[in-house]
């Protein structure tokens, strides 16, 4: 068994959309930190709760490997990586503990403006570009649609204009990016927001009490906000 740990380590995004709101939420729970010189680690001062500042994509894996205890990440990233693990027969290693009410967006299918959209069956035989292959493939399977998933790590919205794909599956918030690329959303796959992610199982050492304390404060802070 892993050695018992007496501090809680939370992974958050180093920079990006969720970085500031995640820190603000944790601050509102009464946490404060002293930053390391490289700005990758923040040592908890008011409570033994430390932060690790990382890329959002690394957060589920850090929890799965036990490097971090909790993380703040988009549900879209958590579900995609969970789907990826399932796809290769691995056991679930993390789950959503709380929805946090910021970073809202949806994972949606979008097609060129010129398409006359009637039903999802129109996607049969088409190429769909996405950075979320596990979630898209799962959804296509539930719809019994055979389409080709084209995996791109970024700039998904220009794929149709470049002739790489016929449609896309990407995150949408205001819809301005789709419109600027002559695309229109036709189907939502997942409603997403930032979530507190943690392991499948509760902690069996002092981290359990710290996590309970943090969750109580978090629930209080979330109630005040909404
Ligand atoms: O560097 P790192 O890997 O940590 O950051 P990142 O660039 O991968 O992530 P980041 O900061 O862009 O997003 C972090 C999380 O914010 C995502 O995983 C989502 O959970 C959430 N989020 C909320 C969004 C959006 N809204 C969003 N609009 N993530 C991305 N977008 C992009 C979208 O991909 C598209 O390109 O914004 C564009 C669409 O925006 P609209 O407003 O034009 O529709
Ligand atoms: Zn990322």
Give yes or no: residues 81 and 17 share one domain.
yes
Q: How far apart are CA 136 and CA 147, in angstroms?
A: 10
Q: What's 13's domain CATH number?
A: 3.40.190.10
Query: What domain count does the chain have?
Result: 2
pLDDT grade for 2, boundaries at 50, 70 and 90: low
Q: How far apart are CA 97 and CA 116, in angstroms?
A: 40
Atom of ligand 1 nearest to the CA of 19: 11
Closest Cα to atom 1 of ligand 1: 55
- Look at residue 1 and tell me if it is in a domain: no
Three-state DSSP state, 89: coil
Ligand 1, CB within 6 Å, residue ranges = 13, 16-18, 55-57, 74, 76-77, 103, 105, 170-177, 192
pLDDT, tens digit (0-9, with 9 covering 90-100), for 136-179: 999 999 999 999 999 999 999 999 999 999 999 999 999 999 99
Please say whether the beta carbons of 38 and 223 come within 8 A.
no
Give yes or no: residues 179 and 136 share one domain.
yes
Q: What is the ipTM of this complex?
A: 0.99
Give yes or no: residues 97 and 12 share one domain.
yes
Atom of ligand 1 nearest to the CA of 172: 44
- Look at residue 3 and tell me if it is in a domain: no
Q: How far apart are CA 76 and CA 93, in angstroms?
A: 16
- Look at residue 121 and tell me if it is in a domain: yes
Domain that holds residue 83: 8-103+193-225
Tell me, in angstroms, the distance from the centre of ligand 1 to residue 175's CA: 12
Average pLDDT over residues 85-110: 97
Give yes or no: residues 46 and 33 share one domain.
yes
Three-state DSSP state, 43: strand
Q: What are phi and psi of 128, to 5 degrees?
A: -120, 120
Q: What is the pLDDT of residue 37?
A: 83
Q: Nearest-5° angle of CA 13, CA 180, CA 101?
A: 35
pLDDT, tens digit (0-9, with 9 covering 90-100), for 42-95: 999 999 999 999 999 999 999 999 999 999 999 999 999 999 999 999 999 999
Q: How far apart are CA 13 and CA 19, in angstroms?
A: 5
């Amino acid at each position: 068994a892993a050695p018992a740990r007496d501090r809680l380590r939370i992974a958050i995004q180093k920079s990006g959309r969720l970085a500031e709101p995640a820190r603000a939420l944790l601050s509102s729970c009464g946490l404060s930190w002293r930053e390391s010189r490289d700005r990758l680690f923040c040592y908890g001062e008011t409570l033994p709760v430390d932060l690790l500042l990382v890329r959002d994509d690394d957060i589920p894996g850090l929890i799965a490997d036990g490097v971090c205890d909790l993380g703040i990440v988009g549900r879209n990233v958590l579900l995609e990586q969970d789907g990826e693990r399932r796809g290769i027969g691995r056991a679930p290693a993390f789950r959503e503990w709380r929805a946090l009410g910021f970073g809202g967006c949806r994972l949606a299918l979008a097609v060129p403006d010129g398409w006359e959209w009637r039903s999802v069956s129109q996607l049969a035989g088409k190429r769909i570009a996405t950075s979320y292959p596990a979630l898209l493939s799962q959804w296509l399977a539930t719809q019994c649609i055979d389409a080709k998933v084209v995996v791109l790590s970024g700039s998904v919205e220009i794929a149709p204009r470049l002739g790489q794909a016929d449609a896309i599956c990407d995150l949408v918030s205001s819809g301005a990016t789709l419109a600027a690329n002559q695309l229109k959303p036709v189907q939502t796959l997942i409603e997403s927001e930032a979530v507190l992610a943690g392991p499948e199982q509760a902690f069996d050492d002092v981290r359990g009490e710290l996590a309970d304390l943090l969750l109580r404060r978090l629930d209080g802070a979330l109630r005040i906000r909404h």
